[in-house]
Amino acid sequence: MPKRVSTYGHRIACVQLLALALAVAAAFGACPAQARTLRVVALGDSLTAGLGLPQDRAFPEVLEKALRAKGYDVEVSNAGVSGDTAADGLARYDWAVPEGADALIVELGANDMLRGLDPAAAKASLAQILARAKGAHVATLLAGMRAAPNMGADYQARFDAIYPDLANRFGVALYPFFLDGVAADPRLNQKDGLHPTREGVEKIVANILPAVEALLSGAKP
């Protein structure tokens, strides 16, 4: 009889330990942490580089801070170069997006539009960028841009279609408009009316953050 009581007590202890282990696993599973630091590259133009702002106030740096505040072990590299067109971004892709990158945010095309360049050329360059990222199995978020109304209805239609078309073609995530909620708002833009202020960058990051979190969830472990 004592032996049976001992066995019963042992089983109860095992059940309790199992319950504790499951509770701990569930607690850790609810967090966005991963086994190692995820490397994210933000490939873009002056909107990414942070023209007119201190380096720690540029989009990649503010995004990294926001992600870390939510528990992500992540490094966001600033691969933005002021004045770059989509073709310029493609030309420096190999050294801007190093081997082993886990995720990529592509923010290019604004300068193509401002210079009135053929949307077909910008689309072709962006397509090559997405193809390279896909070939390297880098999770990618395509940040869209919109043409200014003064470019004309035909140009606007052709340019604005670039991003959803490419997202569908390559099966990548699309953030429709990088400057959503910031463009044309004088309170959130510098005197040139084109580049966001510190507050403007904060708003961009707040808006795009859910899309970046979804991107990280699909990044390779």
Q: Is 195 a catalytic residue?
A: yes
Catalytic residue among 84, 102, 125, 195: 195
If 0-12 CB within 10 Å is exposed, 13-18 middle and 19+ buried, where does residue 202 land? Answer: middle
How far does the chain reach from its first CA to its final CA, in angstroms? 52
Between CA 149 and CA 188 the distance in angstroms is: 20
Between CA 162 and CA 145 the distance in angstroms is: 9
Helices and strands in the chain, H and E counts:
10, 5
Q: Is 137 a catalytic residue?
A: no
Overall residue count recorded for the chain in this entry: 221
Catalytic residue among 46, 84, 112, 125: 46
If 0-12 CB within 10 Å is exposed, 13-18 middle and 19+ buried, where does residue 88 land? Answer: middle
| Distance set, CA 68 to CA 72, 139, 208, 221 (Å) | 5, 19, 15, 17
Q: Is 10 a catalytic residue?
A: no
Enumerate the active-site residues: 46, 192, 195
